[in-house]
Structure 1
């Protein structure tokens, strides 16, 4: 099990993270790709680097958030509860060019259902967690409720990853109450990107999660092997301050002590056990939501990931406004 890197090196670890195996074309230009992504690709880390390059103060805020998070992990904090769990309202912003992209209410609700199952350990595959990790698999205890759906027709064939979909002035939809509601944009991203999220610390004007319409929920346009709603689970994990399980670097850190060191991302449906090439050759937690495996192959958060997510909702935390 890897040790948490604390304070020193926090920002440098973020900046040193390597890009995913698939080049993120949409960071620099729109891409009309409509085929199903060959492998899972999340642009959250790349978007964070872009944001830090534009906003020098963001690196400091990210570092401060990490210091706050680590301090809270050493305390016995209490979470704001609604019938036992934290409750997050979700605004779904649908940007569509075709009828298929104007996804149905049923498809949207299927995604809300997946989030509720995955974050409350009621997903049907939760018991598939191997015995090796059974003592650290976690019920995060966060409930998601659909607040409203906003729809807008557009002529854009793809939106890229520069947050244009979040800006009305650029043809998108500006976020609604982003300090108290999780905004989720559904659109064609392009470039083989399934989705991306903004980490805590970024501007409220662009805060939220973006999911390509082909990978949202479990029905309608949801496309195999990303048709079980786990792209949103993964991206909401980022929005709640989780890192990729391999730390976006060879044997990097995700700041969680109970997740084994991964030498890099895993794809598809890895056979268990899958051994890391990192120090000690631990069995990798490939079934963790923060890896890159197919939807059907990911089905758990760890206890330290749970604590890390809940910490940001505490007084003084970057998502505390959701707890007011």
Structure 2
């Protein structure tokens, strides 16, 4: 296995986020008297992790697949995307990496250029078979302790801040580029989760009211990068970045939808719940195939995950054509 390096989703609503807000299962808080949400996809609670494990991110609540509607109305673009995939064409994604730190040492989040390049190498290694490469164009460094601690504590309880005032202020100030630009933010997520990302259709209105473009991108805990001794023991090879960029390119978790199969990819075996550790032979559904524990879109250790399926590669290329090209 590879070990290399119905409310409105407006900024005002997002800024009012309460931890794991109860509106439609999302992390976004409902205005008083609002109608129920009818989004295609939304964000839910953090899965419960075994002791010693950390969830990659929050659950995705899937009602229907926005990409299916795009396929039905854009047959030419679907054919072109699949032909490009068959021809092994490569899409180059420009990357802007934002280091959020509280000081100038690594322990305070100050990643070096070499460590950031190592993360980009991990992405290139993981996504090359699917037809994507990543070009680091710019690194920013911001020293601001309140932003660095993106997940803070309320007493003894950790609080999750997707869409919080912290995220809004940080991304308004730092986000660069267009829908094609991958903005990555590194910070401390308090060992509550490893990262989060936004799906490509969150900004089009197909999954509820569109979010402002500045939300777009990936957030990762800086200790999930391949940074040596300060990296997480089993999550420190850079594949949180791989997992979150998979979401940024339109992939769901392999376990979304449980045994009914909710990731809209035919060649990923159904999985009842997230897998932690590296449980070889795990089989939680009666449908054919063992659980896809080596897939980048599960929750296993970095050393356990090593691949996307051909179906996931096709979906990522179609998502790029539909929402990012």
| Superposed pair shares fold, TM > 0.5 | yes
2-side partners of 1:306 and 1:116: how far apart?
A: 14
2-side partners of 1:116 and 1:146: how far apart?
A: 11
Indicate the larger mover: 140-149 or 83-92: 83-92
Corresponding position: 1:285 with 2:276: no
Flag the 1:93–1:266 CA change in 2: closer, same or farther, 3 A.
same
Three-state SS of the structure 2 residue aligned to 1:149 is strand
Flag the 1:44–1:142 CA change in 2: closer, same or farther, 3 A.
farther
**Alpha-carbon contact 2:100-2:186 (below 8 Å) kept:** yes
CA RMSD for the aligned pairs? 3.3
**Alpha-carbon contact 2:269-2:288 (below 8 Å) kept:** no
Flag the 1:71–1:243 CA change in 2: closer, same or farther, 3 A.
farther
Flag the 1:213–1:150 CA change in 2: closer, same or farther, 3 A.
same
2-side partners of 1:73 and 1:224: how far apart?
A: 45
Three-state SS of the structure 1 residue aligned to 2:141 is strand
Alpha-carbon deviations, 1:124-157, whole Å to 9, x = none?
xxxxxxxxxxxxxxx2010001010000101226
**Alpha-carbon contact 2:94-2:135 (below 8 Å) kept:** yes
Q: Structure 2 regions of 5+ residues with no counterpart?
A: 1-37, 152-160, 203-210
Corresponding position: 1:21 with 2:51: no
Alpha-carbon deviations, 1:148-199, whole Å to 9, x = none?
00001012261133345544x4697430114231100001122511011000
Residue 55 of structure 2, aligned match among 10, 17, 41: 41
Structure 1 residue 68: Cα displacement: 1.2
Taking CA–CA contacts closer than 8 Å with sequence separation of 6 or more, which of the two structures ends up with the larger relative contact order? 1
How does 1:108-147 map onto structure 2 within 5 Å? Answer: 108-120=116-128, 139-147=129-137
How does 1:77-88 map onto structure 2 within 5 Å? Answer: 77-78=80-81, 79=84, 84-88=89-93
1-side partners of 2:216 and 2:308: how far apart?
A: 23
Q: 4+ runs of 1 displaced by more than 3 Å?
A: 11-19, 62-66, 69-75, 78-81, 163-167, 169-173, 217-221, 248-252
2-side partners of 1:92 and 1:155: how far apart?
A: 18
Flag the 1:261–1:227 CA change in 2: closer, same or farther, 3 A.
same
Match of 2:18 in 1: none
Q: Structure 1 regions of 5+ residues with no counterpart?
A: 1-10, 24-36, 50-58, 121-138
Flag the 1:295–1:64 CA change in 2: closer, same or farther, 3 A.
closer
TM-score (norm 2): 0.71
**Alpha-carbon contact 2:259-2:287 (below 8 Å) kept:** no
Flag the 1:308–1:218 CA change in 2: closer, same or farther, 3 A.
farther
**Alpha-carbon contact 2:183-2:217 (below 8 Å) kept:** yes
Three-state SS of the structure 2 residue aligned to 1:94 is strand
2-side partners of 1:18 and 1:250: how far apart?
A: 19
Match of 2:145 in 1: 155
Match of 1:294 in 2: 301
Q: How many residue pairs align between the two structures?
A: 262
Three-state SS of the structure 1 residue aligned to 2:201 is coil
Structure 1 residue 283: Cα displacement: 1.3
Alpha-carbon deviations, 1:223-269, whole Å to 9, x = none?
21011111100000000110000115454411000111101111101
**Alpha-carbon contact 1:186-1:212 (below 8 Å) kept:** yes
Three-state SS of the structure 1 residue aligned to 2:241 is helix
